[in-house]
Homo-oligomer: A and B are copies of this chain.
Amino acid sequence: MADFNVNILGCGSALPTTRHAASSQVIDLRDKLYMIDCGEGTQVQMRRMHIKFARLNHIFITHAHGDHCFGIPGLISTLGMLGRNGDLTIHAPSELKEYIQTIVKLFCQGMPYFVRFNPVNTNEYSLVMEDRSVSVYSIPLKHRIPCCGYLFVEKQREPHIIREMIDFYQIPVRAIQCIKQGADYVTPEGKTIPNAWLTRPATPARRYAYCSDTGYFPKILPYIHQVDLLYHEATFAEADAARAYETFHSTAKQAATIARDAEVKRLLIGHYSARYEELTPLLDEAKSVFPQTCLAQEGMSLSI
């Protein structure tokens, strides 16, 4: 099965610590890289995880808080120094357009590639980007400023060929691609073999949802229903639920409640407040509601 990995570059929150880096993830899907959020220090985290700069073409930013976007200037400068040619597209709420434009104007004169800005609608679920491998949708979230999560939906894959039937009918290799596309096979004698005899349905397309930053917001449930993996912020422990409410963040238990109610397969929590040196209590609180939970940590790579 083709790669679909989520690499955790940073899962801390706004205040800097030596334990966690600011938010950033890189999705590795069929050998292309898609970044979600780009907090300060992201480019060094890429180096640390041996993530190739050249394979990155799209960056998705959730909102205009520094811990989610202050790594962009360094990264786009570095890509220029590395001699990049192809466009880089930054998909982000329109609040970030002036920031990106100012950085490019002041620091990226004569850079060998172009930075495109694609404004993202944070108010409704909508298609942000698609290519041959993936469709990416925005997921409206509830935060202090306009903010959206992102849903990565792998493009439908080809059906599986039933090797025994291909051999039985002595179907030539040149016909296989058409059969994968849904065609029946006609034998040299003129007999039609229905496609359904020759193939099994494709593995369902995998889906990954990233929901940070957000307060507890059940309106997202239909968009993330039964995703293979959900990353949901869990800034606070239950004891600090009032603080979570005030700041439009979630507790670990709220993240787990969303995961349970959306019937997702697995939950990954992160965006930990700097106040917690030890994260086991957050994990325990989440697991009490949704057992298939794990803690994000820098350097982690999860296969979907």
Asked whether A102 is an interface residue with its Cβ less than 8 Å from the other chain, the reply is yes
Q: Given A98-B102, A102-B102, are A18 and B47 also a contact pair (CB < 8 Å)? A: yes
Whether, in the assembled complex, A123 has its beta carbon less than 8 Å from a beta carbon of chain B, the answer is no
A73 touches B66 (CB 8 A): yes
Q: Interface 1/0s, chain A 14-57, versus B by CB < 8 A?
A: 11111001100000000000000000110110111000000000
B102 touches A15 (CB 8 A): no
Cβ-neighbour of A107 out of B17, B48, B64, B82 (below 8 A): B64
A70 interface residue, CB < 8 Å from B? yes
Cα–Cα, bound, A67→B46 (Å): 17
CB neighbours (8 Å) of A17 from chain B are 44, 47
User: What does DSSP make chain A's interface, helix, strand, loop or mixed?
Assistant: helix
A95–B105 Cα distance when bound, in Å, is 11
A78 contacts B43, CB within 8 Å?
no
Which residues in B have their C-beta under 8 angstroms from that of A99? 102-103, 106-107
**Contacting pair B81 A14 (CB below 8 A):** yes
Q: Which residue of B lies closest to A105 (CB)?
A: B98
Cα distance, A64 to B41, chains bound together (Å): 19
Across-interface contacts of A70 in B (CB, < 8 A): 40, 70, 73-74, 77
Please determine whether B40 and A16 come into contact, CB atoms closer than 8 angstroms.
Answer: no
Of B16, B71, B107, the residue contacting A43 (CB under 8 A) is B16
Task: Write the chain B residue with the least CB distance to A109.
Answer: B145
Assess the B66–A107 pair: CB atoms within 8 A. Answer: yes
Smallest Cβ distance from A103 to chain B, in angstroms?
A: 8
Q: Contact between A16 and B106 (Cβ–Cβ < 8 Å)?
A: no
A71 / chain B contacts, CB cutoff of 8 Å: 40
Q: Which of B15, B40, B67, B98 contacts A41 (CB under 8 A)?
A: B40
* Complexed CA–CA distance, A71 and B41 (Å): 9
Interface centre among A16, A17, A22, A48 (most CB of B within 10 A): A16
- Asked if residues B77 and A14 are in contact (CB atoms below 8 Å), the reply is yes
Question: Quick check: A15 and B81 within 8 Å, CB to CB?
Answer: yes
B81–A74 contact, CB under 8 A? no
7 additional A-B pairs beyond A21-B44, A66-B74, A98-B102, beta carbons within 8 Å, are A14-B78, A16-B44, A16-B78, A40-B71, A66-B73, A66-B107, A99-B102
User: What residues make up the interface of A, taking CB atoms closer than 8 Å to B?
Assistant: 14-18, 21-22, 40-41, 43-44, 46-48, 64-67, 70-71, 73-74, 77-78, 81-82, 95, 98-99, 102-103, 106-107
Closest 6 CB pairs of A and B: A40-B74, A102-B102, A66-B77, A16-B43, A70-B74, A16-B44
A-B contact pairs, 8 of them (CB 8 A): A14-B77, A16-B74, A18-B47, A21-B44, A40-B74, A66-B77, A98-B102, A98-B106
